[in-house]
Amino acid sequence: MVTNSLYVYPWDIDDLSSDVSHIHDLGIDSITLASAYHAGKFIQPAGGKNRVYFPEDGVVYFRPRSSDYGKLKPKVSKITEDRDILAELLDQDTIPVNAWVVLNHNTRLGQKYTDASVQNIFGDKYPYSLCPANPDVRHYARTVCVDISENYSVKSLLLETPGYMSFAHGFHHEFAMVPGNKWLENMLGLCFCDYCKKGAISNGIDVEALQANIGKRLNSILDMGLEVDSDLASAWWEADLLFEKGLIEFLRFRCGVVSSLISEIRESVKPEVAVKVIATTQSPHATSFVEGHDLKSLHSISDGLELPLYQSSAERAALDAYNVISQLGTSEGLSVILRPGYPDMKNIAQLSETITRLSALNLNNISFYNYGMLPPSRLEWIKTVLDQIKDKC
């Protein structure tokens, strides 16, 4: 039997009863509500009052009550100052609610506390990416999760970006006149802040030599403005994983940093609230290790993984999911996110086929992204397909 959830932004809830009734009519079992989120520029075909919406940067959509935040503190969104949508949904008690919590992708905090940001090989700070090795960042992440779970009766926490953000994701108007490639972006995505370097040294990694050698090669490529085809860049990256001394150990160290953070969150949040990890911000899932995500480790220490299967065909989505299952040795505890529209899906048949293929892999917990951003006709795809599934049961 297929169970499901719909991702929802608080700003898309206008008339609570009407919106929840609409979501129920689509055949949706639960709502996954953004409870901490980042900035954006969103076209909202089915949204509330705005066709184009600009969310506040790095704010929370709940009312914090904990006094234990330490150095990094949450900022409550203007929406939530006026109206606590999360509390209203829970008080209505007509549909289960999950809290969708974006953790380390927070430009507001990264700009205010630059020492908490990822620091690249050249010493440049990435304000959009908080470093999970930083004690203040870890304390903030744990406290946000505990605060929500203690004061809101949510079913589960869906944690996004608990690790290191990839280089090519997350900042306003990203622009370069040097062509990017996988090797360049992966190397520029490594963090060499004091906490990461100290941790690497304690793990026996000669991080100073690694930083100097990779930095020299990066400087050469940037100075010459080399245009490297994607297959060549991928081959360079794969070769360096084997032969760049200390690189693979450094990447494994980063995975340990993120896994330990999730473990601390799981231990801190009361057991009746599930803690799940949104597995990656990239595609496919096999690349998630560059974010510090060891999927097997994260799966074992949390209550499961939510897999964004943002692929261009049912076959590619199924293959991406199959690879994760083969790594884990099980599909238990896995759920998936599908985008039933642009840029992933072209028609309702693709949505139906994708769900059928995933069901064959024992993946029957499906989330859909996103209530306000999908055109109404695409929301109807969800209803039609879910109705067809229920008729077969």
Higher-pLDDT residue of 180, 339: 339
In DSSP terms, which residues pair with 33 in a beta bridge? 8, 99
SS3 for 86?
A: helix
pLDDT band with cut points at 50, 70 and 90 for residue 341 = very high
Quick: pLDDT tens for 278-303. 999 999 999 999 999 999 999 999 99
Q: Give 50's pLDDT tier (boundaries 50, 70, 90).
A: confident
Tell me whether residue 235 is in a domain: no
Whether 344 maps to a domain, the answer reads: yes
Block residue for tokens 């929406």: 79
Q: Is the pLDDT of residue 376 over 70?
A: yes
**CA–CA separation, 265 and 248 (whole Å):** 26
pLDDT of residue 146: 98
Given a contact cutoff of 8 angstroms between Cβ atoms, the answer to whether 159 and 276 are in contact is yes
**C-alpha dihedral over 60, 61, 67, 70, to 10 degrees?**
-10
Let me know if residue 226 belongs to a domain: no
> Does 19 fall in a domain?
yes
Q: Determine how many CB atoms are found less than 10 A away from the CB of residue 71.
A: 15
**Mean pLDDT in residue range 247-275:** 98
Is 249 contained in some domain? Answer: no
Determine the average pLDDT of the residues in 352-381. 97
Q: Which candidate, 129, 167, 156, 140, places its Cα nearest to that of 305?
A: 156
What pLDDT is recorded for position 46? 76
Q: Is the pLDDT of residue 117 over 70?
A: yes
Mean of the pLDDT values across residues 340-358?
Answer: 97
If one compares 119 and 389, the residue with the highest pLDDT of the two is 119
The Cα 213–Cα 48 span in angstroms is 51
Would you state the pLDDT for residue 170? 65
Number of domains in the chain: 1
pLDDT at 14: 85
Rg of the chain (C-alpha set)? 21
Kindly provide the residue ranges of all beta strands, DSSP E only, lying in the chain, ordered along the sequence. 3-8, 31-37, 42-43, 52-53, 59-60, 97-102, 117-119, 125-130, 156-160, 274-278, 305-308, 334-338, 365-368
Say if 228 falls within a structural domain. no
Q: What is the pLDDT of residues 148-183, one digit of tens each?
A: 999 999 999 999 999 999 988 767 666 766 777 899
Tokens describing residue 212: 């100097």
Mean pLDDT of the residues in the chain: 95
The CA distance from 275 to 269, in Å, is 8
Cβ distance 141 to 131 under 8 Å?
no
Within a domain: residue 104? yes
The pLDDT assigned to 266 comes to 98
pLDDT at 179: 76
Whether 368 is in a domain gets the answer yes
Instruction: Please say whether the beta carbons of 357 and 314 come within 8 A.
Output: yes
Cα-based distances in Å from 321 to 4, 39, 167, 309 = 17, 29, 24, 7
Question: Does residue 48 register a pLDDT over 70?
Answer: no
Q: Measured on CA atoms in the order 21, 23, 26, 29, is the torsion positive or negative?
A: negative
93: left (phi over 0), alpha (psi -120 to 50) or beta: left
pLDDT computed for residue 2 by the predictor: 78
Beta bridge partners of 274: 156
Domain hosting 148: range is: 3-174+255-392
| Domain CATH code at residue 267 | 3.20.20.80
